[in-house]
Amino acid sequence: MGTLLSEPVAAGVNQGWFRVLPTEVFKIILAGPRNVGKTSLLRRYLSGRFEPQYTATIGVDMNVASLDFPDGKVVLDVIDLAGQQSFISLRNRFYQGTHHLILVFDMTDRPTFEEVPKWYDAITQGACPSPGMHLTGSLVGNKADMVQKLALTSQEGQDLAELLSMQYFEASAKTGQNVSEIFLHAAISCRMTLQSLRQSKQV
């Protein structure tokens, strides 16, 4: 998708006695330093399972998630980006047209938290938002279940999220804590921004 918050890919139409509700498709970037659990969060959401042993993402992994709302369906095209430095140039190719950013760090590894602003700047600059638009986002502290190893406070995470105008979540791919809420928030944020865009065009 080349522009921020494009129109839904399919409009609602009448099919005999029932009405097919519209489908809206949004591009979601799932990013952050290596080994913070990005893929584990996504797999937990898609399958409901935690896989402690898995192969690290090489380059880019693409997945689709769908959510049903009373007035239509939302499809999230989730782009899971590898966190290794060697994939910087490859990652840059996928930023444009992003609707929502899910930026993940490891709550037991403070350096991954300190890298967040660098990731945020790179992605928001590459997303090329349309005039008057903004990129919505979620900041996720993963591995929140490892309470004996936490390397930062909840307040620090919340403060950074507010600084970056992002919604803050503390999550655990292992227990499922807040995993569904992260992707639901992404869908709702995209829908609200799209609705605001449509309303502004009608003024």
Question: What is the reported pLDDT for 21?
Answer: 65
Identify whether the C-beta of residue 187 lies closer than 8 Å to the C-beta of residue 180: no
Q: Does any domain span residue 76?
A: yes
The DSSP annotation for 34-61 comes to TTSSHHHHHHHHHHS---SS-PPP-SEE
Q: Does any domain span residue 61?
A: yes
Model confidence at 55, in pLDDT bands (50, 70, 90)?
A: low
Q: Does any domain span residue 1?
A: no
Mean pLDDT for the stretch of residues 167-175 = 98
Question: What is the reported pLDDT for 196?
Answer: 81
pTM of the model: 0.84
- At 63-112, the pLDDT tens digits run 999 999 998 899 999 999 886 665 566 777 778 889 999 999 999 999 99
Residue 79, domain CATH: 3.40.50.300
Q: How many domains does the chain have?
A: 1
- Checking if the pLDDT of 2 tops 60, the result is no
Q: Does any domain span residue 3?
A: no
Domain that holds residue 177: 26-197
Q: Which residues contact 170 (CB under 8 A, 6 or more apart)?
A: 107, 140, 141, 144, 154, 157, 177, 178
* CA–CA distance, 66 with 75 (Å, rounded to integer): 4
Q: Does any domain span residue 65?
A: yes
Q: Does any domain span residue 54?
A: yes
Mean of per-residue pLDDT scores for the chain: 84
